[in-house]
Structure 1
Amino acid sequence: MGDPALSRRGFLAASAAAGLGITALSGCGGDSDGGSSGTTTIEWWNISTTEPTKTVWAALVKKFEAQNPKVKIKIVQLENDAYKAKMTALTSSGKLPDIFHTWGGGVLKQQVDAGLVEDLTDRTKDFSEGLLPVAKEPYLLDDKLYGIPFDIGMVGFWYNKALFKKAGIGEPPTTWNGFLDAVRKLKSAGVTPLALAGKETWTGMYYWAYLAMRTAGIDALTKANEEKDFTGPGFVEAGEHVKELVALQPFQKGFLGASYSTPTGQAATVGNGRAAMELMGQWAPVVQADAGKGLGDDLGFFPFPAVEGGKGSITEVFGGGGGHALRRGAPQAAVDFLKFFASETTDRELVKKTGVLPVVPAAEEALTDRNLQAVQKQLKGATGFQLYLDQAYAPAVGQEVNDSVGALIAGSKSPEQVAQSITKAAKEEQ
């Protein structure tokens, strides 16, 4: 799958966990120290290797320990790829950390199916029911909750208001045909409509995924994965719409060789005003400003348009976030820490200091960034949520979605071949 999670958070340097010793899971089972104090040690594995999150989370642990003197939290932090590799090995061994980072979706399902993850439905009901509903979606399997979110976000179109005005586009489009018309108007005005990092195929996957949601319907994506069949007409139609867009030649020159967050990549192309739009997650404004100049007040956000005659709705969103799960049989102290981490007080601190979107509705007041407020508004009004396909599905299937859609955009695969390739990968996972 490459490194989509870090690529999507391109503004965070992929700091390596150099020198970090990987210890045995000493905290599993809530071990007592064996003395009269009866201290319970909880091991917490996460990927917060970058600042400011690393320092903020360490301070939160100290605060929790001060409130719970009989509990010791041992933090194990790993860079994204190292974490994935280590967790794959631990899953195979049948022994997971007390608390561990999860993106939900396919990997979490594999861990749940192996009987390694705690069902949190009842153990967290007193606080999880108050969390933003869409934030919990990636961790719900068969209506049971296996993770508690601390972050949530969605993909949408970030656009340059000045370039829209130059092209005579008054309001962002709400339908696919309206979107294509906007692309044509931008081209007629001498403006590059869209920036795309064709070298990193997850960026193009967003178009196909959203179009599949809008044509086949959001439930069809789950059903197709369960039935190992993506050849239905809605999925082929999604590919045809992608092809329809590509035929308008909407992307910047050299897009097939472009990366996402480099000085000449997708984000910089938008941030420097050389393209009118990009389809990207809530981190986009920061990366645009980091890789380019940034657009300031000229930057706007709108949801992916509805497709005329499709089964989906414009209020169904596509995205992801981060959460924490517990190993099966984890002690109550681990649940207590999840409750602490999901409290309004903690969430406000996370929003203010680390830039995450709030998962506790009452913490929304701490959100002051105009761009993030725009995303949060869409999330609050969401009627459905689809996790990134390269996280929702088994890794090999997710990678095939990315690669096949990349080939479609490059012109080397047809919409039918995309559907067939994804189906083949899904069947081989059985």
Structure 2
Amino acid sequence: MKKKWRNRLKYLLLAPLLFILLVGCSDQKSTDSGKGVKEIEFFNQKPEISRQLKELANTYSEAHDDVKITVTTIGSGEGAAGLQAKFTSGNPPEIMMLGGTSEIDRYQDTLLEVSDLEVTNTIMEDLLEGALIDDSLLAIPMNVEGFGWMYNKEIFKEAGIDPESIETFDDFVEAVEKLDQQKEDLGIEEVFAFSGAEDYSSNQFSAHFTSPEFDHSILEAYEATELNWKYGDQMKAYMDLFNEYNIQPILGVNYSQSVEELFINSQVAMVHQGNWIVPTLNGIDSDFVEEKLGILPVFGENNETAKIVAGAPWYIGINSDIDDDVKEAAKDFVDWMYLSDEGQETLVHEMQMIPPQEGYDVEDITDSVSQIIYQEMLDENTSAMAHNQYPDGWFQLVLFPEFQRYLDGYSTWEEFEKNTSEGFQEMREQ
């Protein structure tokens, strides 16, 4: 059985092709260097911010004649393999976007300690935990993301539901039932459009219930050898609830149908998503975000304690195996990204990200949902992104299939907990 878990097919299949492509890119890069110019490659794993990141790099390069920054973007699930291929080719980037603690750990021998960066002193302290390896800070958080139940304020209002009155899980159930009873009058098909076809949806949703088991600690979740579903009863209650009042068949509902068709067209009242859907919604109907979009926390620990899951999904690291003058230029650019007026404007208003730093006025954040997430982070009232710390491949190969089996009625909750717990332990041991 363990051989099954060792088959990291994505890396095995993608890395050779990416190696060839990136070696070819490295040959071209070596001919572009001007005399005395410090060349810095920024490896980006978020395609949706590629344009803005390139513009930011160009702005910096124009003001610094001796520095040339280029952006390489590989995303859509292939970024980790692309970064690995860069290192394998002997042409690693000077600055790199890293997907959480596991990737920081993987490259720790070639990452610069960044506690002396100016921006580090402005970062929310809780966010730094995910980049601490053996007490060394090896990267800084790039941004903050948060998720919970995204809801339609207008539908709730028409149904006579005050979101502020939802103070317990029982209150949430009552609100769901009230929405269901008024479906025809509200013009909605169902209450929920949970994306049962997407593996990442089950992964993110599980964090509401695994984070408290790991004491809301990124490092504790990353180092955990067992998952015992201490708060599994809460997860089961939610799954049973949304499965009953969801667009069916639930296993066929994908992101596009859920967010870009049903939710934005007010055909459902709620989806389980995060602030990353804001740019998508803005691109379809900006009035929806401004007038209708809200977020509800999840009662993951008990009937009375509700939290949004929030944290840093991406980190920025600097290569330690580069010339000192290039290293200093790379450090300066990272500081400039987060501390200059140009950088902050791009981060918050053009990339539409939640900054990882303290000191922003909440009203400066671009939308109301992101404002709530930012304030909850400042108040230290969020659950940790435990789902990013699971054993490699576990949520795709174990959690998601078992999640679907339970929703489809092919297994019991006891079987779900048993199979996922055993898979977690076996894959962590490798």
Instruction: Report the TM-score, using the length of structure 2 for normalisation.
Output: 0.78
Deviations 1:352-401 (A, max 9, x none): 22211223334546434334323322332234552261x32343123233
Deviation at 1:201, TM superposition (A): 2.6
How many angstroms apart in 2 are the aligned matches of 1:370 and 1:238? Answer: 28
| 8 A contact 2:112–2:138 mirrored in 1 | yes
Mapping of residues 365-380 of structure 1, within 5 Å: 366-380=364-378
- The yes-or-no answer on 1:251 pairing with 2:246 is yes
| 8 A contact 1:347–1:359 mirrored in 2 | no
| 8 A contact 1:162–1:298 mirrored in 2 | yes
The aligned counterpart of 1:12 is none
User: What SS is found at the alignment partner of 2:144?
Assistant: strand
The aligned counterpart of 1:324 is 316
- The yes-or-no answer on 1:175 pairing with 2:174 is no
Deviation at 1:68, TM superposition (A): 3.4
The aligned counterpart of 1:207 is 205
The aligned counterpart of 1:338 is 334
Residue 395 of structure 2, aligned match among 381, 393, 398: 398
- The yes-or-no answer on 1:87 pairing with 2:83 is yes
Deviation at 1:89, TM superposition (A): 3.1
Deviation at 1:303, TM superposition (A): 2.1
Letter in 2 for 1:258: V
Percent sequence identity over matched residues? 19
How many angstroms apart in 1 are the aligned matches of 2:240 and 2:202? Answer: 14
| 8 A contact 1:205–1:405 mirrored in 2 | no
Letter in 2 for 1:153: E
Change (3 A) 1:72 1:290: closer
Residue 355 of structure 2, aligned match among 349, 355, 358: 358
| 8 A contact 2:391–2:427 mirrored in 1 | no
Deviation at 1:163, TM superposition (A): 2.5
- 204-213 or 348-357: which moved more? 204-213
Segments of 5+ residues of structure 1 without an aligned counterpart are 4-18
Change (3 A) 1:68 1:21: same
Letter in 2 for 1:186: L
RMSD: 3.6
- The yes-or-no answer on 1:128 pairing with 2:144 is no
- The yes-or-no answer on 1:347 pairing with 2:349 is no
Segments of 5+ residues of structure 2 without an aligned counterpart are 1-7, 11-20
| 8 A contact 1:42–1:99 mirrored in 2 | yes
User: What SS is found at the alignment partner of 1:155?
Assistant: strand
Structure 1 segments of 4+ aligned residues over 6 angstroms from their partners: 25-28
- 138-147 or 291-300: which moved more? 291-300
| 8 A contact 1:158–1:278 mirrored in 2 | yes
Deviation at 1:42, TM superposition (A): 1.9
The aligned counterpart of 2:16 is none
Change (3 A) 1:43 1:70: same
Deviation at 1:281, TM superposition (A): 0.5
Name whichever structure is richer in helix by fraction: 2
User: What SS is found at the alignment partner of 1:203?
Assistant: helix
How many angstroms apart in 2 are the aligned matches of 1:228 and 1:95? Answer: 34
| 8 A contact 2:144–2:310 mirrored in 1 | no
Deviation at 1:217, TM superposition (A): 5.3
How many angstroms apart in 2 are the aligned matches of 1:66 and 1:105? Answer: 33
How many angstroms apart in 2 are the aligned matches of 1:225 and 1:323? Answer: 16
Letter in 2 for 1:413: S
